[in-house]
Amino acid sequence: MHTSISPLLEKYSFPKELLTLIESYGSIIYRKSNEQFFYDVNTYENTLFVIKGSFNLYLQNEEKKVLLYQLFSDQMCIANHVNLFNNYIIDFYSIALEDSILLSVPSNKMMEWSSQFKELRHLIITSHQHHYNAMLGVIQSFTEESLENRLHSYLKLKSVQKKANELAMPHQEIASDLNCSREAVTRSLKKLEVKGYIERKTRSVVLTPIIEQAS
Amino acid sequence: MLSNFMLNSNSELLGLVKKKGIEKYYGPGDVIISKGDIKYQTAFILEGLVKITLGKENNSLLLYHLNAENNSIISFMNIYNNTPIQIAVTTIKQSRLLWVSNTDVLNMALLYPDLKKMIVDSYYYNHEQLVLITKNIISKSLDNRIFDYLMTKSSLYNSQKITISRLEMASDLHVSKEAISRSLKKLETQGKIKRSKNLIHLTQF
């Protein structure tokens, strides 16, 4: 049964002609919370847009995956940021943070339509900008911030994503996401506790509510 | 991978773009864009070489290079908004840039598919370079990062011998001068480079 795509795209205010084209050529992909996907050769024939929900984007680094940043649906971000002309493959990896929906459109059609519809051009360029600036942020944090600060930012982000102040996460998972050792995570958590930012319990970490949430 | 955004090689298109733009000359070491600038233009490098860095006072990490021969478009992807630019652009060699307003670039890209392709390619190239440097930072030792850096400089200058100060290397790699000295000594012991004063000779080209 063909799912009607247009109702899912209401919030983006696309012109009717564009919606008709998307209905004809596009398809919907559902991702459940925690579902993972790699970007491989097949991923590049279609451009994927996040239209509902959110994803974590990781860079595959040897055996590990390193957390980069998030993709959200508010700006219909492109999920598989890919060079449509050169097919340069970037070894990314995504995990859905919640039940999410992706719109899949053949990449060549997308390029064609972008000449016709300024809304699509706007979307593509804004998506590029988002990916670029997000990568700059990642580079800055890797080269500047202490592990402690990166860990604190990471915990705050997780807390928002899971909508909870208490996080039960194995130290190894945190270490993998932050590209450091488990021992370093344990040490840094101790430091954050001493500073009063968190409270450590047997199997979890509690973020102490800080007024900075208001910023 | 074929990077094909050389405006220089498409003389008809170059002529059209030149009509809409203004050419400016820069000496080596000129700061073209500082972090925080707002610019509604795109620059095409007609001659020369520039480096893109994080551009912060305490962190000017080298991200990548752009030059007239290969990747010659300096674009900020801010065609639809006016967000401040998050990087700094500095010339390394004497350079000649063609500045065109974003509005004109957008209109021409709609008319000329080759230009559109060049611009989109440049977006991907920029992003790809950021991913590469991120991978380097997370997976390579400082020694290897420095060696990669020297190899990049060597191919940009087309020379096995490079003159570069420890200060500039420390800034580009965002590490201390001492760390640079230690790593260079190590690379020399490994036979990968030979040093004399400020000159570094790459033994494997």
ipTM given for this complex = 0.92
Whole-angstrom CA distances from A164 to A100, A161, B19 are 20, 8, 58
CB contacts, 8 Å: A135 with chain B: 127, 130-131, 134
- Compute the distance between CA of residue A22 and CA of residue A5 in angstroms, rounded to an integer: 8
pLDDT in tens, B33-68: 999 999 999 999 999 999 999 989 889 999 999 999
Distance separating alpha carbons of residues A53 and A79, to the nearest angstrom:
12
Supply B28's token pair. 């080596």
- Tens-place pLDDT, residues A111-141: 889 989 999 998 989 898 989 999 999 999 9
Residue B182 scores a pLDDT above 80: yes
pLDDT at residue A24 above 70?
yes
| Count of Cβ atoms closer than 10 Å to residue A168 Cβ | 11
Q: What is the mean pLDDT of chain B?
A: 89
Structure confidence at residue B130 as a pLDDT band (50, 70, 90):
very high
Please state the length of chain A.
215
Residue A193 to residues A188, A189, A201, A205, A207: CA-CA distances in angstroms? 9, 6, 11, 9, 9
Q: How close is the nearest chain B Cα to the Cα of A59, in Å?
A: 8
Architecture of domain A6-143 in this structure: Sandwich (2.60)
**A33-53 residue pLDDT tens:** 999 887 766 667 888 999 999
**Rounded Cα–Cα distance for residues A165 and A155 (Å):** 9
Residue A211 has pLDDT above 50, yes or no: no
Which residues in chain B touch residue A143, judged by CB atoms under 8 angstroms apart?
54, 59, 61, 137, 174
Q: What are the tens digits of pLDDT across the range B71-117?
A: 889 988 888 888 899 999 999 999 999 999 999 999 999 999 889 88
Q: Residue holding tokens 């209905």?
A: A23
**What crossing angle do the helices spanning A182-194 and A147-162 adopt, rounded to 10°?**
80
Residues above pLDDT 70, as percent of chain B: 96
Residue B196: pLDDT above 90? Answer: no
Domain limits, chain A: 6-143, 146-214
**Neighbour count for residue B142 (Cβ, 10 Å):** 15
Contact B135 A61 (CB under 8 A): yes
Q: With contacts defined as CB-CB under 8 Å, which chain A residues touch B53?
A: none
Q: Chain A residue closest to B174 (CA)?
A: A143
Amino acid B2: pLDDT: 37
User: What's the topology of domain A146-214?
Assistant: Arc Repressor Mutant, subunit A (1.10.10)
Name every chain B residue with its beta carbon within 8 A of the beta carbon of A138.
134
- The DSSP line for A91-149 is -EEEEESSSEEEEEEEHHHHHHHHHH-HHHHHHHHHHHHHHHHHHHHHHHHHHHS-HHH
Whole-structure pTM value: 0.86
Q: Is the dihedral of CA B168, B172, B176, B180 positive or negative?
A: negative
